[in-house]
């Protein structure tokens, strides 16, 4: 069984064939003994229990001077009764006390995985896919009860954790901190991996050795943000893409978050992950509960690629859901970088007709389709079709697109409102801000108060009217500013605002998905500012970044792939010079980069030369032939663009009979060094035909000796001149 409880030793062993997590009850307190590679079960693991009598420590009692919460490894620690480290939970009683004494009451072991009310979560389709431990703790004085949820996935080296906090007492309790996960590890010999950046350079891979003190990533922007992703990993010093021990931590949440490591002066490390405590408070009246988002911990003893592969498969199959979960994505053209706000129906139809000739499957109408929207200064919130651009109505345009044989998509930004719109003028109280204080716009717009159910219902009504008329196949859901001026007149406890806001976003998604289950939703937030697991539960793909430059995108997509599958990455071929970087890259390189995602075009097709159009036709055919492999195969990072001017990655089919290797080189040197790379994921005993080289090689040769990348390795490559070169090597088993 994946979850075993040994009554005599009061020990819990949560495990599958790849990982184990072990803790025991000591005087009713859950104390961690081990987290890591799977070990055989036995009656007790007391040899792993560590404690010591240390000066200045606050101890259990006088009889046990070596027992202190400060030096025990705890499953869900509190502050103030001996543990002087950062807590997993902090709650304030009516008398102002924040002391808690959480002790074991009981536990349940159930098959499957319970849903989390109102929150996105990993799910199971059959009970035998997972087992869940519900560990019930209670503070007798306040009546605060906490149920720790641990789900062991049987097919994945993943342990999923969250907490349900219930006021079972008679007085109101104010919750200040409610982490989804806390994990104490016995040594600090790790590096921390984080995904950092900003707009147009999201999710760069940063690796830093742990040191004494606190290291953290976070968001206080009201959304997960493009500065830090809600993910960290702890890896051993020798860890590489294919070797070494690593623990990944990923939060299934789209709001303010904290992911933190704290190394004490005794060489132990505490990992915390959950809603950021800053500005957060939750009022728990008697009988009320608060459910934290869940954190997904993944263990690997075989390096980063193996960790990422677990996240990819788990999030693709058991977090994303619905009609589009297992379907390949349609090849689209989006008009944004092709026209921006300057278009009318005639102009768009010329792009649609060109798209049809090129084999493209969907046209997406981006920003600017609604009234008074000729710049980003107004229009958001009313969602009324611009009659000047669409004199016969939006439905007529969508019907015209479909008459050409294409699917039709639409851009929205439902969480925002522009000044001067009817919605803004009629309901100024629906904007997040404190009355009689200055309002601070971002991108000339304000954030609607989605913590107010009335606002969510109003926006649903407006969008429902549009959707029911035009029946979009695809929705690009944008969110182009962070939340400031935090105040809502409908909330009595302002610390609840940012979490209630995100719950409102989830609620609107849920209402729309229930009514329109076959719409393909793509989450967008100024590009990749809300690319998080919580969004994947509702929108199975996300616009990876507003930066569509091929070589900038290689870094962005490389970092994103540490957690997120290729099927979730919106990736388009755009015009040159690139609108953000100014780089001029070959059309082939732009496509070779964009293939490794959902794939589409972000340009005016009517401005392409006949030669370029012929190349696009071939690209579309290639993607149609290979998108099942690319979007649902196993992805491997082989060479990092953060370390050299080269990027190499590959994707392998489920049966390992076909693979595609992407090779990208930013600059062309003179008298170049030799280049080769060891491949991954192939069947060592199969012979593969390798395009470009036009050679037949065993899988074990390609994985152990490597694929030669030197330009001189084939006459075709030796002809390549200039910068921004790329190649695709197609490997097909004989």
Query: How many angstroms separate the CA atoms of 10 and 23, rounded?
Result: 9
Query: How many angstroms separate the CA atoms of 592 and 232, rounded?
Result: 29
> Cβ(237)–Cβ(189) under 8 Å?
yes
* Backbone region of residue 113 per phi and psi (left: phi > 0; alpha: psi in -120 to 50; beta: other values): beta
> Cβ(428)–Cβ(454) under 8 Å?
no
Helix, strand, or coil here: 565? coil
Query: How many angstroms separate the CA atoms of 47 and 499, rounded?
Result: 42
Tokens of 63: 């009889």
Give whole-number Cα distances, 217 to 139, 193, 257, 486, in Å.
31, 10, 8, 21
Query: How many angstroms separate the CA atoms of 616 and 605, rounded?
Result: 10
Tokens of 276: 């950021």
Query: How many angstroms separate the CA atoms of 27 and 511, rounded?
Result: 47
Query: How many angstroms separate the CA atoms of 705 and 707, rounded?
Result: 7
Neighbours of 678 (CB within 10 A): 14
Closest to 695 (Cα-Cα) out of 676, 714, 710, 722: 714
Q: List active site positions.
A: 478, 546
3-state helix/strand/coil string of 673-716? CCCEECCCCCCCCCEEEECCCCEEEEHHHHHHCCEECCHHHCHH
Closest to 228 (Cα-Cα) out of 276, 270, 274, 196: 196
Tokens of 467: 């959707």
Query: How many angstroms separate the CA atoms of 141 and 625, rounded?
Result: 65
Query: How many angstroms separate the CA atoms of 332 and 322, rounded?
Result: 20
Query: How many angstroms separate the CA atoms of 126 and 323, rounded?
Result: 18
The strand pairing partners of 106, in sequence order, are: 136
> Cβ(254)–Cβ(304) under 8 Å?
no
Q: Are strands 158-167 and 29-37 parallel, antiparallel or unpaired?
A: unpaired
* CB proximity list for 12: less than 8 A, separation 6 or greater: 3, 4, 5, 6, 22, 23, 24, 30, 107, 133, 135
Query: How many angstroms separate the CA atoms of 316 and 338, rounded?
Result: 31
The strand pairing partners of 284, in sequence order, are: 173
Query: How many angstroms separate the CA atoms of 682 and 83, rounded?
Result: 49
* CB proximity list for 94: less than 8 A, separation 6 or greater: 171, 172, 173
Q: Is the dihedral of CA 365, 366, 368, 374 positive or negative?
A: negative
* CB proximity list for 280: less than 8 A, separation 6 or greater: 176, 177, 178, 256, 495, 496, 498, 499
Query: How many angstroms separate the CA atoms of 3 and 20, rounded?
Result: 10
The strand pairing partners of 145, in sequence order, are: 138, 166
What is the DSSP code string of 34-52?
EEEE-----S--GGG----
* CB proximity list for 66: less than 8 A, separation 6 or greater: 51, 52, 53, 59
> Cβ(676)–Cβ(708) under 8 Å?
yes
Query: How many angstroms separate the CA atoms of 488 and 432, rounded?
Result: 6
* Backbone region of residue 357 per phi and psi (left: phi > 0; alpha: psi in -120 to 50; beta: other values): alpha
Give whole-number Cα distances, 354 to 339, 393, 473, 503, 566, in Å.
15, 22, 20, 41, 27
């Amino acid at each position: 069984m994946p979850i075993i409880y040994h009554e005599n030793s009061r020990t819990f062993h949560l495990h599958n064939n790849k990982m184990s997590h072990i803790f025991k009850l000591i005087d009713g307190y859950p104390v961690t003994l081990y987290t890591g590679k799977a070990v055989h079960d036995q009656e007790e693991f007391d040899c792993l229990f560590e404690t010591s009598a240390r000066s200045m420590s606050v101890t259990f009692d006088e009889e046990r001077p070596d027992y202190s919460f400060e030096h025990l490894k705890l499953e869900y620690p509190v502050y103030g009764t001996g543990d002087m480290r950062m807590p997993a939970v902090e709650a304030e009683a009516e008398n102002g006390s924040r002391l808690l004494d959480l002790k074991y009451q009981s536990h349940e072991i159930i098959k499957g995985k319970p849903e989390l009310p109102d929150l996105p979560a990993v799910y199971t389709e059959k009970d035998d896919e997972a087992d869940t431990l519900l560990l019930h703790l209670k503070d007798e004085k306040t009546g605060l009860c906490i149920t720790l949820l641990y789900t062991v996935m049987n097919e994945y080296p993943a342990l999923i954790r969250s907490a349900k906090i219930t006021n079972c007492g008679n007085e109101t309790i104010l919750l200040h901190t409610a982490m989804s996960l806390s994990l104490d590890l016995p040594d600090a010999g790790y590096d921390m991996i984080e995904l950092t950046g900003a707009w147009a350079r999201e999710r760069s891979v940063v690796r830093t050795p742990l040191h004494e003190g606190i290291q953290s990533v976070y968001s206080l922007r009201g959304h997960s943000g493009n500065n830090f992703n809600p993910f960290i990993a702890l890896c051993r010093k020798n860890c590489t893409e294919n070797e070494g021990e690593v623990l990944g931590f990923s939060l299934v949440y789209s709001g303010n978050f904290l992911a933190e490591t704290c190394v004490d002066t005794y060489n132990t490390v505490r990992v915390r992950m959950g809603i950021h405590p800053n500005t957060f408070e939750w009022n728990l009246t008697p009988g009320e509960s608060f459910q934290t988002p869940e954190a997904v911990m993944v263990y690997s003893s075989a390096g980063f690629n193996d960790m990422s592969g677990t996240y990819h498969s788990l999030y693709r199959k058991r977090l994303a859901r619905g009609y589009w979960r297992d379907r390949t994505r349609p090849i689209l053209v989006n008009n944004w970088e092709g026209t921006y706000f300057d278009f009318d129906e005639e102009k768009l139809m010329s792009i649609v007709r060109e798209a049809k000739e090129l084999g493209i499957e969907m046209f997406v109408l981006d920003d600017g389709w609604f009234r008074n929207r000729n710049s980003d200064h107004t229009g958001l919130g009313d969602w009324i079709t611009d009659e000047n651009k669409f004199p016969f109505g939006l439905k007529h345009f969508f019907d015209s697109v479909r008459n050409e044989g294409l699917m039709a998509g639409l851009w929205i930004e439902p969480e925002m409102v522009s000044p001067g719109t009817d919605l803004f003028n009629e309901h100024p109280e629906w904007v997040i801000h404190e009355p009689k204080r200055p309002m601070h716009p971002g991108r000339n717009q304000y954030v609607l108060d989605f913590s107010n159910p009335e606002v969510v219902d109003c926006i649903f009504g407006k969008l429902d009217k549009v959707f029911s008329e035009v029946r979009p196949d695809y929705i690009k859901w944008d969110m182009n500013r962070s939340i400031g001026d935090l105040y809502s007149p409908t909330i009595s406890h302002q610390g609840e605002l940012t979490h209630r806001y995100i719950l409102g976003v989830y609620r609107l998604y849920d209402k729309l998905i229930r009514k329109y289950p076959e719409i393909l939703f793509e989450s967008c937030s100024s590009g990749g500012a809300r690319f998080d697991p919580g969004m994947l539960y509702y929108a199975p793909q996300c616009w990876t970044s507003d930066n569509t430059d091929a070589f900038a995108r290689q870094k962005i997509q490389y970092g994103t792939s540490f957690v997120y599958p290729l099927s979730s990455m919106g990736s388009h071929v755009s015009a040159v010079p690139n609108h953000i970087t100014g780089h001029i890259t070959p059309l082939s390189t732009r496509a070779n980069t964009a293939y490794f995602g959902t794939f589409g075009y972000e340009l005016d097709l009517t401005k392409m030369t006949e030669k370029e159009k012929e190349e696009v036709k071939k690209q579309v055919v290639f993607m149609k032939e290979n998108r099942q492999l690319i979007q649902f195969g196993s992805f491997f990072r082989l060479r990092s663009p953060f370390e050299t001017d080269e990027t190499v990655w590959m994707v392998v089919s489920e049966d390992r009979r076909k693979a595609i290797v992407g090779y990208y080189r930013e600059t062309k040197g003179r008298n170049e060094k030799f280049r080769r790379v060891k491949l991954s994921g192939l069947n060592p005993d199969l012979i593969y035909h390798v395009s470009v080289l036009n050679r037949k090689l065993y899988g074990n040769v390609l994985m152990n000796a490597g694929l030669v990348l030197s330009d001189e390795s084939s006459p075709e490559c030796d002809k390549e001149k200039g910068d921004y070169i790329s190649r695709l090597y197609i490997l097909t088993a004989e």
